[in-house]
């Protein structure tokens, strides 16, 4: 086989591989949409956002009781990782309620950690918060959507979250 014939053969095979790759990318995108449509359903009463399900409680509990409630449902108190997640929660909560977050400084004062053990990085504290004014070691989302620290033994609504996996 001469060089020109070889080059034409390889060029043809390369074009076929590129076409196959493009088709596979389209198939992957179509399959992802189908997976999202099947997996995009949270349990009844839970809200869906970015492959995560959220439960906004209709009753009040202490922080520890709320944490246990979430655990009983295979979830945890909400951990807010992005501005988009914060905005989703603010938009979807009942406006007149205060909600427990999965955030506390119970182990070391002024060192805030999420219930999964990760340190607080991004925050949305109200002005002057956290202030630990009355043994306040647990984080909440206040009525205005900003965060506040309050006593963990008070009762408030809560938000659970869990990843939705297929």
Q: Are residues 73 and 144 in the same domain?
A: yes
Q: Are residues 85 and 159 in the same domain?
A: yes
Could you tell me the pTM of the whole model? 0.75
Residue of 1 and 105 predicted with greater confidence: 105
Residue 98 has pLDDT above 90, yes or no: yes
Residue with tokens 């449509």: 37
Q: Are residues 66 and 101 in the same domain?
A: yes
Q: Convert the pLDDT of each residue in 51-75 to its tens digit.
A: 899 999 999 999 999 999 999 999 9
Q: Which range of residues forms the domain containing residue 75?
A: 46-163
Q: Tell me the average pLDDT of the chain.
A: 90
Residue 33 has pLDDT above 70, yes or no: no
Q: Using CB atoms within 10 A of its CB, is residue 70 exposed (0-12), middle (13-18) or buried (19+)?
A: buried
Give the pLDDT mean for 136-147.
97
Q: Are residues 27 and 88 in the same domain?
A: no
Structure token pair of residue 150: 């309050």
Predicted confidence band at 36 (pLDDT cuts at 50, 70, 90)? low
Number of domains comprising the chain: 2
Q: Are residues 85 and 117 in the same domain?
A: yes
Q: Are residues 57 and 85 in the same domain?
A: yes
Predicted confidence band at 125 (pLDDT cuts at 50, 70, 90)? very high
Q: Are residues 35 and 51 in the same domain?
A: no
List beta partners, residue 61. Answer: 156
Structure token pair of residue 110: 């002024």
Predicted confidence band at 15 (pLDDT cuts at 50, 70, 90)? confident
Radius of gyration (C-alpha) of the chain in whole angstroms: 24
Q: How do strand 46-49 and strand 52-56 relate by DSSP bridges?
A: antiparallel
Q: Are residues 96 and 127 in the same domain?
A: yes
């Amino acid at each position: 086989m001469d060089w020109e014939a070889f080059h034409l053969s390889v060029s043809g095979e390369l074009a076929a591989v590129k076409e196959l790759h493009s088709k596979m990318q389209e198939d992957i995108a179509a399959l992802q949409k189908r997976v999202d449509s099947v997996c995009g359903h949270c349990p009844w009463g839970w809200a869906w956002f970015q492959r995560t399900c959220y439960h906004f409680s209709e009753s009040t509990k202490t922080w520890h009781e709320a944490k246990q409630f979430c655990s009983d449902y295979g979830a945890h108190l909400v951990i807010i990782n992005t501005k988009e997640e914060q905005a989703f929660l603010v938009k979807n909560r009942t406006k007149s309620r205060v909600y427990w977050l999965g955030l506390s400084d119970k182990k070391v004062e002024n060192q805030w950690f999420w219930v999964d053990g990760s340190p607080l990085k991004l925050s949305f504290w109200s002005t002057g918060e956290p202030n630990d004014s009355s043994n306040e070691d647990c984080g909440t989302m206040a009525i205005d959507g900003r965060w506040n620290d309050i006593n963990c033994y008070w009762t408030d609504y809560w938000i659970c979250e869990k990843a939705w996996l297929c």
